[in-house]
Structures are given as C-alpha cells and as structure tokens.
Amino acid sequence: MTLPERQLANAIRALAMDAVQAANSGHPGMPMGMADVATVLYSDYLKFDPADPKWADRDRFVLSAGHGSMLAYAALHLAGYARPTIDDIRNFRQLSSPCAGHPENFELAGVETTTGPLGQGVATSVGMAIAERHLNAIYGDDLVDHRTWVIAGDGCLMEGINHEAIGLAGHLQLGRLIVLWDDNKITIDGSTDLSTSEDVKARYTATGWHVESCDGHDPADIRRALNAALADDRPSLIACRTIIGFGAPNKQGTSATHGSPLGADEIAAARKELGWTAEPFDIPVDIAAEWAGFGDRGKALHSEWNDRLANSDRKTEFSDRIVGKVVPGDAFKAYLDGLVAEPPKVATRKASENTLSALTADIAALVGGSADLTGSNNTKTSSTKPLTKADYSGRYVYYGIREFGMAAAMNGMALHGGVVPYGGTFLVFADYCRAAIRLSALQQQRVVYVMTHDSIGLGEDGPTHQPIEHLQSLRAMPNLLVMRPADAVETAECWALALAQENRPSLLALTRQNLPPLRHDVTENLCAKGGYRLRDASAARKVVLVATGSEVSLAIEIADKLEAAGHGADVVSMVSTELFDEQTAAWQADILPDDALIVSIEAGTTFGWERYTGRTGLRFGIDSFGASAPIEDLFKHFGLTADAITPQILAKLGN
C-alpha cells in the first residue's frame, strides 16, 4: 500500500457526503464512521473479483445497516465493479439509479442481499454461512472455501431477530461468519443511553460467539481484531468503536449525521478537516488506482479456483447445483404413480411429507428444517439427516423456536446458491416471519415456506393458533406464490411448482386434518393453472363453487346437494389465486363464467373473494376469530357445512 489508509478511507467519506447532499436524502454518518474498517476489509481480507461479482467461491459481504448504503456503493465503485458508475452514485436515491436508498440485490450485482429492515442482514448472513459450511462439507475446500462478512449497526443488534440469528449461529459454530459492529453509540433518537443498557458483547459471548473490540479508526487495531477472528473457530463479533460522521467537525459523534445531509457548510468544513481537496464525485487518480488494485488478490484466487473446478470430476454437478438447477426425478415420478394406484386419505401436511420423501431423495440441494415443529410440519425425511456443527453435510436444520430467524436464514441460503431451502411452522406464525417472507419476495428468491395447521381445522388449540386473515394477507404480498392444495395429488403438484419458481418464493398452506382424495390423474399439473374445474356440472350449470384446500371436499358435498335439487354446479379448486390471475382471460372466463352464480368457500376471511364472486356472488368463510373445540364442532359452529351453505345458495337462486 503506497498511500495512507486514511486517504483511501476518505474516498468513501467524500462520496457519501456528496451523494447524500445531492439527493438531499440519506445517511452519511455510518459510511463516514465505518470507512476505515471497510477500507481495511477490502484491501486485505475480502475475497472478491470485481470482474465476476457472482463467482461462487467469493466472500459474501452483507451491509446489514442498510441505511448506510453509500458505504456499499462507494466501496463497489472504488474497487472496480462495473456498477455503480460515478453517474449512478451522482444520482443516488433517484429513480434512474441502481443506488437505491437501501442496498437492493436485484439492482447491483455486487450487493449480496437486500437490507433495509434492521437485523435481517445479520440473520440472512447466518443462512449464507450455513450454506457455505454445508457445501464445503460436500465439495471440500477446493471448491468451497469462503467467509461471510457483515457490517451491522446498533439497530441491527437491538432488533429481536438478532437474538434468534446469533443463537442459531453460535449453536452451529459458524466460524466463517464475522460481524463488524459499528459501535458508535448513536441512533436516530440520540445516544444509545436513551434506550439500552445491555452488555452486547456479553450477550454474544453467552451465545457461543468469539468477541473482539477495536478502535474503528486505527487500521492496525482493526487488523489485529480481524486476525483474531480468523483464528477462532467460532462466529465472531468485532465491536468497532467509531465516531459517527467521522471528519465532520461540528456534527460528528451526534445523531445529526445519522439520517440527514450534512449541509454545504459542514461538507466544506469536513473537506478541510480531512484534507480532501477534490471536487464532488471526483476521485484523485492515485487513490482510484490504489483502490482498483484491491481486487487483484481475489482475481488471482479466482483464476486458481477456476483451474480446480475445471479439473474436478464434480464440475458439472457443482455448476448445476450452484445455479439452482433442480429437477424432480424417478422417485418423484414413482410417488405420483403411487398416488393414482392407491389414493390416500391423509392430511396435506402428511401428503407434503410423503412428497418431500421423494423429492429429497431426488434432489440433494433441498435443505429443510422447522421452527421446533418437525413432528407437526412433517418436514423431515429419511434423506435429510441433521445439519450440526459436527456434521455440516446434513440437510435438516433444527431452527428452534425462531420463526423469523429461520425465514431470514433461508433467504441467506437461497441467495448464497447451491441450496434450495424449505422450512416449516404453523400458518398463524407467518406473522412472526412476515418481514423475512417479504424480503424473499422482494429479492425474488426460491424459498419454500411449509405452513401447516392452516385453518380452524386444527381444532382445540383455539383462536391464537387458528389463522383467519393470514391466507388473504399473504396473497396480497407481491411476488409470493401462495398455494393451498386439496389432496395428496394437488400437494405433490404444488411442490413441483414451488421448485420450478426460480424468481419467487412459495408458501404451501397445509391441513392438520385428513382429507379425502379428489384427484385421480397426474397426466397434467392442473395446479399450474391456479384454479381449474375439478368437477363439471351434470345438470345445466347454474353455480360455480370455488374452494381451496380442505373446503374443496366440502364444495363437492354441496355440489351433490345442488345437483339433487336440479341445479348444475361446477366445482373449482382454486389452489393459487396468483397462478390463476396469470392465466389468459379466456381461461379465467371459462372457469368463472358470467352466466353463473359464483360462490367462494374458504375457512378464513371472506375479504378479497369478491374479486372472483363479484358483488352478486356469495362468500362463505370466517370473519371473526376462531374458537377452541373439536374440528367438527367448529365447522358446524361457523356454518361451514353442506347443510348450512346449500340452503343459502338455493335461496340466492330463487328456490
């Protein structure tokens, strides 16, 4: 290194000040405070190749404190990535720029994960570290040998998800995970003394982490702490004591630098304080050249890795796996054939387990788990032995009671590549992990959520465990594929569809109670249509009964009664409203014709079903909370029986 490291770090500070000022929006304080740490990390530790941001064996760098996004954009630009360009940075937070307010993985190739909601970056990094250890156990150091680095702030460490994430990481002894804590003792409201008195380092130590402290503005001390972390086989937290807004003489160390531009006068004063004489968005040639050389080490390592991959007898297998190529094979086909030969009467959670038994035998990339509900979610198979600190080659993660942490970790696994994650909990607990599900959808990641006990059909556990509004609220989330199958065949088809979704997550809503077999052919994946005619009317069609999951068999009973009264009734299984809405207008019009009474039946809120029934249709469901009672009593109490619904349909028809 030929230039003082402070000058190199000042390049980050200058770009952060100037970009936030130009946008009149943003957070300059964190990038200015952590610039020295980031410079040391990029210069000597982070393994990356700016010419190939998706190189499989690169280190993963996660900026969990996403509000400090200019640190990531400045570092990527300075390190030689194709984007962001200086014009991208000049247009920070503008519609035309990939430099969004918080880093978005779909905007820039060098951004590993979307971070915004604090704490999720740390939790996502745990999933990345799990994926690295798992793939290393399978393919060895020659092909998989990298680390996950995180820069996190006080907010990341305060959020509840942080407790879940670090507990899991410590338990699994993920020694390739290193978190750099921007310990500046400032939040938006002011000093951290306003809101917390906890000993953060002691908390991490208690969960099995190695903990170091350093002066975040002293490169030698930063290196000492990083080297200590590299030498320890536990995940590491490094408390980097920093000054927020470092270099801004009148505002540094205060919350005034946290979420607002510094202002022209303070920027001028900071330039003088830092000895930075370049014009806004201008990086001196010698500083730019020094930064550009940081990737040389990674380029050489990448070249060596390419040679090892080329000479590996597992090259094709590894390459297919890392890009997410998954195809159900012979075991899955045999399972489908068995469903036709001997149609089972089972809960769809059990049908999911049976499907998974075939899929996990076929697809090694499937890594499952459950938030302490393995026996209820039915997510473990004979092919998925536990993934533990003693054996990372396992394919089943016992997440403990950490729904949110599980969901975020699965995002990390999917983002890392080489793993297709699925995890289970009760549908009602989607509320606990909704923010991570939202990031699955936003980041367009193939994550499969197995959510059982999907209605009042779970019975005596009562209203706290009975999802009412959950299906419709999840359907409202963009780019989330929600599927509620009605029997074993539909469940298998939904799993095949979930694995085929390369750019969105899926959620399978599954029953606790047994359901009769309704489909007896597997020649075509009818669930791919979202909604399809399960049974045609016998008499002249007057009614179309649209139902999901456990209520499809109820719709069959109602159709029988209507047909007996001389009214033809189609039965439509609406497995997925998202997939149905993606079909052609002609398909939709054929399934839901204008000349019929459209009736929806679902053991959840009726809100939203008017999209399909129209204002003149009928909607049967539950618009209150549930109750604690046996299943049969609950369905009768809430009027979800053929005897209760049929007369109302007949009355609407004028009988």
Q: Looking at the annotation, which residues are catalytic?
A: 403
CA distance 343 to 334: 13
CA distance 234 to 387: 16
CA distance 425 to 432: 10
Closest CA to 135 of 382, 365, 303, 328: 365
Phi-psi region of 125 (alpha: psi -120 to 50; beta: other; left: phi over 0): alpha
CA distance 442 to 408: 13
Sign of CA dihedral 360, 364, 365, 367: positive
Sign of CA dihedral 411, 258, 21, 73: negative
Could you give the 3-state DSSP secondary structure of residue 89?
helix
CB atoms within 10 A of CB 199: 10
User: Is the peptide bond prior to 84 cis by the omega test (within 30 degrees of 0)?
Assistant: yes
Contacts of 289 (CB under 8 A, 6+ apart): none
Crossing angle for the helix pair 403-416 and 430-442, nearest 10 degrees?
20
Between β-strands 420-426 and 448-452, what pairing exists: parallel, antiparallel or unpaired?
parallel
Read off the tokens for 407.
């969901």
Helix segments in 527-603, DSSP class H = 551-564, 577-581, 585-591
- Go through the chain and tell me how many residues it has: 655
CA distance 618 to 482: 23
